[in-house]
Amino acid sequence: MTNGGKSTLAMSLHQQIPNSCIIAQDSYFKDESVVPEDSNGFKQYDTLDALHMDVMMSDVDLWRRDPESFLKQRDLNPEHIAPSVDKEVFVLIVEGFLIFNYRPLNELFNKKYYMEIPYEVCKRRRSSRVYTPPDPPGYFDGHVWPMYLKNHQEMETMVSGIVFLDGLKPREELVAAVCGDVCQEIERLRGKL
């Protein structure tokens, strides 16, 4: 969901997990001139059609083919890349508000986490952020929240194995839980190499 803490969690995980990289769905929005409007005049940013999902998938595929090269090309912090060892596991952190609604991407995940916060908190956080273009009056209640509910329902019908996280918990607690889980998965994958 919007303003649920996805980016904060992803950055914290990236800082703690060697050989990790983030691909953020927000980096793939189409130009606002091609994003359609609904009957109320609200831009339809909360749909897959507002995103260059083909480009995002191309980047994911580049990482899958050669994660070490991808990291070296993209990472602004080269010391974050651990020295190559025989059983090194590379971690791609994909974050975004519609990642579970895009089946080709969804099928690639080893672990799935979904941050949730209540309506009031979401609305308060959203109103404190500055967007380009800015949210018009009534946008949250007239478009953002209804689309979140619709997308959430769709996601639940097509995805299993999601761990739902309480976005109101302290950041350190959430990071520790997810990082511990991911590190267990890394060890499991190392055992298969």
Q: Residues 122, 1: contact at Cβ < 8 Å? A: yes
Structure tokens at 17: 């997990």
Nearest-10 crossing angle of helices 67-74, 53-65 = 120
Report the Cα 107 to chain-centroid distance in Å: 14
Structure tokens at 65: 């083919």
Rounded CA gap, 153 and 156, in Å?
A: 5
Rounded CA gap, 78 and 154, in Å?
A: 39
Question: Does 26 qualify as catalytic in the annotation?
Answer: yes
Rounded CA gap, 117 and 121, in Å?
A: 6
152 in helix, strand or coil? helix
Q: Kindly name the residue from 26, 61, 141, 166 that is annotated as catalytic.
A: 26
Residues designated catalytic: 26
